[in-house]
Amino acid sequence: MRRLGASVLGMEAIVVGLATPVMITIGGITPALAVTTGIGLAVFCVIATGLLKRPIGYVLGSVAQVLAIAMGFLVPAMFFLGTIFAALWVTAIIVARRVEGVTSR
């Protein structure tokens, strides 16, 4: 379960980090807000990945999904990308629980 969650959060960290220059150049967002939002959320995803050994990591990962969707207010494409990552996050949790349930018997 941890590997799938880490994969989703790792890729999400890259995408939201790369959204920072998009916010500045295309979105017209001030650099301070763009860096705080984009890089801040990328760091948050990395921290959540590191905490996946504990239940709080999954809570933080879920919060990251909500924040990624909320970034859509700054970069409209993030509504779509955030929803994709949220769907991948939920799918990773569901699939991992099924696999762990099958292998633990």
Per-residue CA distances from 46 to 7, 12, 27, 77 (Å) = 11, 9, 25, 22
Cβ atoms 45, 64 nearer than 8 A: yes
Predicted structure pTM score: 0.88
Is residue 16 within 8 A of residue 71, CB to CB? The reply is yes
pLDDT value, residue 27:
86
Task: Report whether pLDDT(56) > 90.
Answer: yes
